[in-house]
Structure formats: C-alpha cells, structure tokens
Copies of this chain bind each other. A is one copy, B any other.
Amino acid sequence: MDKVLQALADNEHRYFRELAELVAIPSVSTDPRHAGDVRRAVEWVAARLGRAGGIDVDIWETPRHPAVFGRWHEAAGAPTVLVYGHVDVQPPDPIDAWTSPPFVLTERDGRLYGRGVSDDKASMLLPILAAEAFFAAGEQPPVNLRFLFEAEEEIGSVDLPALVRARRKELACDVALSADGGMWRADVPSITVSARGLASLEFTVRGPRKDLHSGRHGGGVANPLHAAAALVASLHEGGRVAVRGFYDDVDPIEPALLTALDRLPFDEAGYLEDVGAPAAFGEPGYGTLARQWYRPTIEVNGLYGGYQGPGSKTVLPSDAHVKITCRLVPSQRPDDVAAKVRAHLERACPPGVTLTFEDDSHGSTAYRVSSEHPAVRAAAETLQSVFGAPAAVVGMGGTVPVTTMFRETLGVDTVFFSFSTADEDIHAPNEFYRPERFRLGLRAWVELWRRIARSGAKD
C-alpha cells in the first residue's frame, strides 16, 4: 500500500477527536463577544499545522481576527500551491432548533453534527492532515505548500484583501486550492467553476423616539414596521429584483454553463422536499439551479421590530431593522449594487419615518474559472479516481471572496476542493458533515498534489 495513504489510515483514530476539539471552539466571527474564541481557534489551527511536520507556521494579525499562515518549500522545481480555508463559523442561532449542542461534535445516524463542521472546519483540516501524512510516511509533499486559514470568511473576509496585498510575496504561488466551497451533492462528485459575489446592507427605519401605545397613538404617526415592510416589498416585483439598474451589468449565462446545467441529474421535487419548501420561486425565465448559481438575488436575512414575546402587546414601535445581502454574478460590483439598492430604498421611503444605513456593509465580487484550467482538470481527474465517477461541472450560489482577491492580487486562479456538501445545513441549525467524505477527502488531497506535480500545473 502507498505509504502516505497507510499513514492516513494509521492516524485516523485521532482525526475525529481533533475535529471535535476544533468544533468545540465557538469561533463566531460576527459576534464581538466571541472574539477571544476566534483567536483560540486560530491558535489551535496554527499549533496543529505546526505539528504536521516541516511546515513553518506564523499567525498574521489583522484589525479584527488573525489568520494562520504556513509554508513548506523543499520540492525544488515543483509547482507551489496555496491552500485556503477558514476557521470562523456562523452564529448558532436559533439555538433552540439544534437537536444536540451546536459546539459539541455529535455523531447521529452516521453524520457528525456541529456548528462549522461542514463550513469549514472538517474540510480545512484535510489538507493539514494530508501534508502530515507525507511527512509521517517519510516522503516529501510533491508540491511546495502555502497555507492560509483566515477567521473572517463569515463576515465577508473584511481584512483579507489588505492582508493578501501586504503578504503577496509570502503568498506567491501557481494556483490556489480552496478547502472552502462544498460540493453540489453527496452522490455526484463535482467541480465548482463559479461562486456568486456578495453585497450587504443593513438599515433602520425610525418613527417615534420611543415605543408608543398603538391604541392611543395609532393613526397619528407612522409605524416604522409598516414603512420597513413597504421598503422590503418594493425590492421585488414578481420574483424579479425591482431595484433600478440592478441587472445592468449582468451578462447572459454562458452557453457552456447552460449545457452543463442540462446534463445535471437535478431532481427539483426532491430538492424542494429536502428543504421543505412548498414550491420553487424566483426570477421568471430561469430554472432553479440557474437562479441559484448564475443569477443575482436580493435576500432579506433579518427583519424585525416591535413585540416578539408570547401573546400580544399593543405597541407602535419606535424602530424596525432590516439586514440584506445581495448575491452577485461576474461584472456586478458590490459597491455599485449596494449603492443602487440604497438609492432605491431612499427613493421608496414613505413619509413619517427616517431611514439610516449601518456603515459596516461589505461585499465581494463573483468568481468564474474555466473548466479547462490545468489544475481544474487535475482536480476533476482526482475526483473521478477517488469517487469512481466523472465530476460534474457546477456553480455555487454562495460566496468565496478570496477567489477574486487571489486572482487580482496574486494573479492565480482558485480550484475549489472541498469535501463538504451543499445540503449539510451550513448557516442553519443542525449543520452536519458526512464522515466518509473526510476519508475520501484525505485521499483526494494526497492525489491532487501528486497530479498537480506531475502536470506541472502552473497558471
């Protein structure tokens, strides 16, 4: 047996214990109360990477959460790959909806449950363990390695652009390999060639200075909840975004992607049953996958104001809050889209209330890579070898901001190489990971690096 794969098998008994340790750290990057936990997770990953073998490890500070950097460069003449992943996670809310505690890795019915286990803690551990297996087997990794694990992916990688610019020399490479991303389905190996961008906005609608009795005052002054609802309702018209200019920079979906879409074994009824939605819904003229992968959207992620407790409370509330994210396709610029949505809301704001926007909006552009890129081909061949089935070409509805950043700052493309799956309830209660993907993923990382070394894949 291959000595590296043997090393993986020999050490498997401790991999899930280590994953449980990492999941136990509530590294919720969006919540300032968890800043210390985010740092603990970064330090845990740095220490783990340091124990893998001959990798030099550093912690890079940013104004918010630090990142982990690793470097090994003894494969003379071989390509250099930059492995990317993230250690931060989404908030566990609503906590009551979890069957087991979100930060206790729990096996149930052959799945591993925990916040962040799928996005991205299991998948980002794989390349660390794969590198370790080379060293443990007494073999050198076949490619030169860079590792970059950030802790701000769930807040839009806000400090990463500056960090990557400042560290472009240390990060120089031939191709980036993202351990973040996730495959389309558990039963079809797939190569992701696109990810949508993101533009976020948050605003508050204010009416009276304080909550008022809705009997005494109702009818006299504007209710901020009515105004917020009118604003949110104005964003769409018949499933299509109604913001002026929103679709201006949106190109038609490329024929190659449409062809690949047609080839996919997509069972819409099964999908709807899985997510429990009564029907598909969205922009007219596009199929469900096309709308999710290759068309832009506006989604309200939070809308709230007034009384939320049991029973009723006759209040005319002082304010209402709205959190919005737009998903973007190539050519749409996040700042431009955010400005158009903001201008739309300002035009649409009804009388009797005021509208204020939070300053912390963030964004990132969408990403596309050619399916003919040599590293994409190496990844596709690896998946075919490991899974025993050809890899489908798919898009991703979510956002991986680093892809565009790596292209712009380091001049390299990114290959998504994650062993999470899109149905694993990431960002939702009861997020889970399939442990068998962990084993397949370890083998795949070993093989991918070998294939890239053989192909000499340089961009």
Contacts and interface: CB of A to CB of B under 8 A. Distances in A.
A93 interface: yes
Contact of A292 (B196, B219, B228): B219
Nearest to A321: B308
Interface string A391-405: 000001111000000
Contacts of A425: 210
A259 interface: no
A250 interface: no
Interface string A425-437: 1111110000000
A222 B313 CA distance: 29
Given A309-B93, A310-B30, A281 B210 contact: no
A450 B449 CA distance: 99
Contacts of A225: 232, 300-303
Contacts of A323: 306-307, 312-313
A349 to B, nearest CB: 11
Contact of A230 (B212, B216, B233): B233
A350 B422 CA distance: 27
Given A302-B306, A304-B308, A30 B217 contact: no
Given A226-B235, A288-B220, A303-B229, A275 B428 contact: no
Most buried by B among A156, A271, A275, A300: A300
Contact of A397 (B94, B198, B216, B422): B216
A314 interface: yes
Copy tally for this chain in the complex stands at 2
A453 to B, nearest CB: 33
Main secondary structure of the interface of A (DSSP, over half): loop
A279 interface: yes
Contacts of A210: 97, 275-276, 425, 428-430
- Taking residues whose C-beta sits less than 8 angstroms from the other chain, chain A's interface range is 35 or more
B301 A219 contact: no
A53 interface: no
A343 interface: no
Contact of A277 (B90, B207, B271, B314): B207
B215 A399 contact: yes
B307 A305 contact: no
Contacts of A48: none
Interface stretch (A37-45, A122-130, A351-359): A351-359
Contact of A93 (B276, B278, B307): B307
A221 to B, nearest CB: 4
A297 B219 contact: yes
A317 interface: yes
A312 B233 contact: no
Interface string A184-227: 00000000000010101010001111111111111111110110
A210 to B, nearest CB: 6
A312 B398 CA distance: 15
Given A31-B311, A229-B233, A233-B226, A221 B280 contact: yes
Interface in A414-428: 422, 425-428
Given A229-B229, A397-B216, A279 B222 contact: yes
22 contacts: A30-B312, A94-B211, A97-B210, A97-B211, A155-B311, A156-B312, A212-B427, A213-B397, A215-B398, A216-B397, A219-B327, A220-B282, A221-B281, A225-B302, A229-B230, A229-B233, A280-B352, A302-B305, A302-B306, A302-B307, A312-B362, A315-B428
Given A207-B277, A210-B428, A215-B325, 15 more contacts: A31-B310, A198-B215, A206-B278, A215-B396, A215-B398, A219-B283, A219-B327, A220-B281, A220-B282, A220-B291, A221-B272, A221-B282, A304-B306, A311-B360, A315-B428
